[in-house]
A and B are shown apart, each in its own frame.
Chain A
Amino acid sequence: MKKALVLFAHPFSKQSRVNRAIMDQLRELKHVRVHDLYEEYPYFHIQVQKEQELLLEHDLVVWQHPFYWFSMPPLMKLWCDEVLRRGFAYGPEGNKLHGKDFFLSITTGGWGDPSSPGSVEDFFPPYRQTIEQCGMKWHKPVVMTGTGRATEEQILLHAEAVRRRMIDYCATGVCKDI
């Protein structure tokens, strides 16, 4: 069995219906570890070594967060800056993450409105660059737009899809697109 690590970053997770639904789906899975960054480090002091060890233990890394200003919440970004260090994730001997699988799972509030600036994918290059710099394999992101007006059924359906993708991965080691 493969193991998956979900890094969840939402500063006010109580307010997020979708993220909560996804987390609820994933928490019971045996081979999936949900790591809630804002619960773990409310004071923004990330324990780098612990995070690196966690990464090493898992085969698939998932970032689950709401899209804030076309990017990630601040603690997630801090996590990147602190944990993906030179000598660990890149640079000389920075091969510790090589070959691991990765996908991004984000939720957006208003995206999909006529006023939305193009496609969400337009804002993924920095993510992809980061992941590939670390030698990890980029898989197709999972996006749920328009969470503000989504019905309970739609949310459950999305959460279920994410869950299915994780179970599949853990069982087969293949990250199928959804």
Chain B
Amino acid sequence: MESGLFYILVFLVSALICVPICKRLGLGSVLGYLLAGMIIGPYGLKVIAGVEDIMHISEFGVVLLMFLIGLELEPKKLWDMRVSIFGLGGLQVLSVSVVIGLIVKFFFAQTTAVSILIGMAFALSSTAIGLQILSEKKLLATTSGSSAFSILLFQDIAVIPMIAILPLLTVNAAASESTGNPWASVLEVVMVLATIIVLGRLLLRHLLRWIGALHLREIFTAFALFLVIGMSFLMQRLGISMALGAFMAGVLLADSEYRHALETDIEPFKGLLMGLFFISVGMSVNLLQILESPLQFILLVLLVFLVKTAVHAGLAFLFKTPRAQIPFFAIILSQIGEFAFVLLGAAQGLKVLDTNTVGTLTAVVALSMLFTPLTVLLYDKVYLRYVAGASTMEEDKIEDEHSPVIIAGFGRFGQIIGRLLYANRVKATVLDHEPSQIEMLRRFGFKVYYGDATRMDLLEAAGAQHAKILVVAIDDMDDGLKLIDSAREAFPHLKIFARARNVDHVYRLMDRDVFNFERELYESSLRMGSSVLRALGWPAYQSVIAANIFRDHNNQMLEELHRRRDNPDEMVSRSKQARDDLEKMFQQENHYLERTEAWSNEP
């Protein structure tokens, strides 16, 4: 028997080895964790047994993830999503269950009860994997991302009635034990939920305020964890998914002022526990069983993928998802989710399924989860590069308009530039990957194209050959720098103008010899500084001059510090000196300005 410490050590070491390697290879962190689990699990090196216990602990990763997502969603936003949650989600669960159920019944000759059960279980997708990939790719805000999220949310709700009707299925099966009236438990659930919402609204904030006022950070964290775990515990007691409970707790707090504090407190736990979760999924893959008849398993997983992808694509089409996003939407939910383990386990307990079938199905579920990162990878490397490159061009019809300017990123920063140019009849081609934004802008007459600007084929399609200037105004700092690097290589004639988020970003731009940058917030902050001086009674013009002097000095200092960046000591002393310099400069200038009043008196 090994100690708990040893287990933790094994987990961490395996993750530390596998995840960075997978990430480097472009395989994504999820696959890294899964592989780590397979390696250390009972079917790999057999370092760790007792997968189920670990699974239970690691489910909190999903729980915390749902809590964080709940925090992001205000009740109003959730209400706005009701159509897609219930419409899209309901249709997804229903149609996939039916299709898979029919396949199981007629092609695998199973009983109706078993077909329904497998249909239901396989309709579910993995919240953990789906959301992890969506947030890693920053796609949660897109139409397809929010559709996928709606479906996952609905599935979490749908698990409740699914578990509730399990006993009904046993009626058809051999053994039947009656478990109370399912409607009574539904009523109970509704009552408890209502109570939680009312109490949460009334009490929770006061409680948080009180605990926040203690200024004991760890107690605040403890309370945040207590909240999430308590809620999950309650939900579990009611037979509802823990994740749903945590999600509700998140939503309850979404419009409170403690949202961000909670977010930063929970985030690190979430990441690690999610990792643990994926590891435990990897561990539960029964390699031996799979290796006995690998072809059978591969075909089964492929079948599941094909069916689900096809149905999802149909649904996306039905719900008018932008065409370019349909393929990704369709594959991201095509694995079978962790709740399938729960359903299958319960079904085994109720003797709807025998142990052997459950083993096979569990392996299929785990394999399908393992496959998801691979399909995403395939999508990125093959589909996007070779298929979509051509097709997006057709769809979006990026005609080379010979615009002299290309603006990558049309958020609050890029927009201002675009509007100024547009108003002055300077043509600009705009690339952005936020579809809702794009539709709105198109209505206003902007030429905006959907796409990832860091892809050189898209940039070329947008007319980079003929453009003079590339404005890099995308949110993500690393993406922006990546874009600059590849654009420099592919289109060296382009003059690059970049938005800089902070000083470190400025240095990295300077490293690339990009000197046409503007620090976001910087100019407006200077203006605000002037306004403050003015409000303190300074003459308006003098306040503006002060800001101008500050700007010049700061820009100069920035270049100097960039050159000394390798020498931290020197940098610190130089910036200290620069502060003194600036102060002296202001003193001189203000002294001079005060004296110039005497100008007319001087001969």
Contacts and interface: CB of A to CB of B under 8 A. Distances in A.
Interface of A: 43, 45, 47, 85-86, 90-91
B592 A85 contact: yes
A90 B599 CA distance: 11
Contacts of B292: none
Q: What 10 A-B pairs come out closest when comparing CB atoms?
A: A45-B548, A91-B602, A47-B552, A86-B602, A85-B592, A45-B552, A86-B595, A86-B599, A43-B548, A45-B545
B591 to A, nearest CB: 11
Contacts of A90: 602
Contacts of B596: 86
Interface in B588-603: 592, 595-596, 599, 602
A45 B596 CA distance: 18
Nearest to B596: A86
A86 B551 CA distance: 25
A130 B548 CA distance: 27
Q: Determine the main DSSP class of B at the interface with A.
A: helix
Contacts of A85: 592
Interface in B563-603: 592, 595-596, 599, 602
A46 to B, nearest CB: 9
Nearest to B549: A45
A86 B595 CA distance: 10
Nearest to B547: A45
B506 to A, nearest CB: 20
Contacts of B602: 86, 90-91
B212 to A, nearest CB: 45
B297 to A, nearest CB: 68
A146 B270 CA distance: 77
B547 to A, nearest CB: 9
Given A45-B545, A45-B548, A86-B602, 9 more contacts: A43-B548, A45-B551, A45-B552, A47-B552, A85-B592, A86-B595, A86-B596, A86-B599, A90-B602
A47 B595 CA distance: 19
Interface string B109-140: 00000000000000000000000000000000
Interface string B539-556: 000000100100110000
A80 B456 CA distance: 50
Contacts of A47: 552
Contacts of A45: 545, 548, 551-552
Interface in B524-564: 545, 548, 551-552
Nearest to A87: B592
Interface in B425-484: none
8 contacts: A43-B548, A45-B548, A45-B552, A47-B552, A86-B595, A86-B599, A86-B602, A91-B602
Nearest to A94: B602
Contacts of B595: 86
A91 B602 CA distance: 8
B594 to A, nearest CB: 12
Contacts of A86: 595-596, 599, 602
Most buried by B among A43, A85, A86, A91: A86
A50 to B, nearest CB: 10
Contacts of B599: 86
B555 to A, nearest CB: 11
A53 to B, nearest CB: 15
A91 B599 CA distance: 10
Contacts of B552: 45, 47
A86 B591 CA distance: 12
Contacts of B548: 43, 45
A86 B592 CA distance: 9
Nearest to A85: B592
Nearest to B545: A45
Contacts of A91: 602
Nearest to A81: B596
A135 to B, nearest CB: 14
A15 B226 CA distance: 72
Nearest to A90: B602
A45, A47, A85, A91 — which one has the most chain B CB atoms within 10 A of its CB? Answer: A45
A45 B547 CA distance: 10
A122 B552 CA distance: 40
Nearest to A46: B548
A57 B314 CA distance: 76
A19 to B, nearest CB: 24
B383 to A, nearest CB: 48
A113 B244 CA distance: 86
A129 B123 CA distance: 90
A143 B602 CA distance: 32
A20 B592 CA distance: 36
A43 B545 CA distance: 11
Contacts of B592: 85
Contacts of B551: 45
A47 B555 CA distance: 13
Interface string B201-227: 000000000000000000000000000
A47 B599 CA distance: 21
Nearest to A133: B603
A86 B602 CA distance: 9
Nearest to B599: A86
A45 B552 CA distance: 9
Nearest to A44: B548
A45 B542 CA distance: 12
A90 B552 CA distance: 26
A105 B548 CA distance: 31
